[in-house]
Chain A
């Protein structure tokens, strides 16, 4: 096991070094391929180790390097860590397969080398965060993960939008590290060790404080609302294989952290459960509502990541509440549901990001209003995207439904509680959950329908070509997994060792296939004649793409109904030829949605910091006398303070 895991890590480091070497010695494209192959081998080794640990229940512990006796790099794979490492490994494997063709698309040769080099480093750092045995190692790899992903986000650094994304991402990711630092130092202050398990020994009040710090730290990285704003920017600006990894995997690392610290080590209190439940529900509902108005394909998917992280956090919150009341069945349902959804979301979201990447590459735009008709140009990509859409919309019998039903059923477990107030809160949560899930389906009808169906809405979309094979194989593996994990969910949960009251999806799937086959067979048997005609359009001469329904039109009813949330501003400016205002010269109409979090929360905070920084820097820019005065004031203040306290 040792050789397999460390060998895998070594291979990933080698894959990281190779493109950098070839950058120095000007080796050609072959080095990318070799580096990616080595990455695949490395990931396979590590994933195998994790799977062995997960299924045999073996604990794998290893000391890699001790800086001092206190500060050590050691790894520990227990069942929880092994689950997450296997998840990272599997998704990363498919993303690397996708990268073979995707990387070659870039324009600047140097950057391709850097991208190929940073990819294995990013994957390795994520694996090591999960595998880390102590807080010091965890934080170290956490920072490597943040920094390597920052450089990956900055791939197209000339674009103004990428620069904005980079700033948002860097500040937010450092903010999350800052809060983790606070939590870890707090633990160290009370226990004198960086061991994760030692956190247990904290006094209860400090535990709550540590929980808040950890929640903000991990919540920022996971993209929970209101700490989410970096997510849509960073996911849309980065290359698609990286967005797939960031959304599919990196957000899950934060979920791992939350699980490890709140449930495994600290004894959660009841109110923690409510914090998780409320933040989770708000993220889930607002995430999907923001996704609906989004017409940038990758931003739309990014908002759905916020939604799905919300679902996972709701599951964790329900676990805390039910566990507190000792209701074992709903507690297990919600915990297994949350973890299963973590896996499922990793799979279908990376599938969607990869296929979206192929679409963006083929059409050269991320705006879905300029797509359309791609189902005929890119049929395989379309089918793969459709499977992903069905999975994320929680349609049975796919995997997204398999995990969401667990959360639904655990919500219904609320009726076994004795506390009416909590029950009412849960019922409202359930309604919000149902709304979220229905809106997600609406959003993906829009996404698939506008991107792939009808006629191409722009010239570029009309000229799109099917993605190269590597960019189909990676997502295809994920799509197949979506189906398998959904249809056999009952059997898989049983095999992992949980007896849960969830419906068996296998007979339903068999019957679905059977009935479809019967009707297809019937129509074939009677040889129904088929004719290709035009779309019926009330007698129009020729149908053009301008007559099709647009994404804006599609989501308009939802935007109107939820106008309180969107705060839509409709402005209509007119200029006239004559003073009587009867003949119009120009008309300008604009519909803008208010960016609540950016305009009301983020920018005021950022401006506050900018102002205080400007104030301080102005004070620095003075002559010698002023500095002597500063020194004098400081000495006086220190003397006064010393006099008071000593």
Chain B
């Protein structure tokens, strides 16, 4: 039976009526029309659906809505502050780290989570953290370069 859930997404509160086992991904996309978060596999294997829950990267396609309710959720739509892109978004543009870009939101959200946890990750740490995100176009080296660039930019902007 559908239940009422309150979701805090990108600083805004939403109320939805859905089944408890419905996944966060379909709620975001179908109920709230936040389609920046992508479906890639529905099994937590490709990272296209990555969002931040309380600041940490989570696969929204395997996260039941009941587990996301009441927590702070950030999607790719919530990263930029007004017109100013998040440093990770800007770095993806600067490194042209995309082709079809379908993986891009998931890549960006994973990268933001990594840099939240570790300001200056090593290359090996980047690869390890990002291993669960698939880019079929093969822009991996550019994504690594973008994460390095964003790490540098975020370091500089810190007081």
Instruction: Determine if chain A interacts with chain B.
Output: no
Q: Which residues from chain A sit less than 8 Å from chain B, CB to CB?
A: none
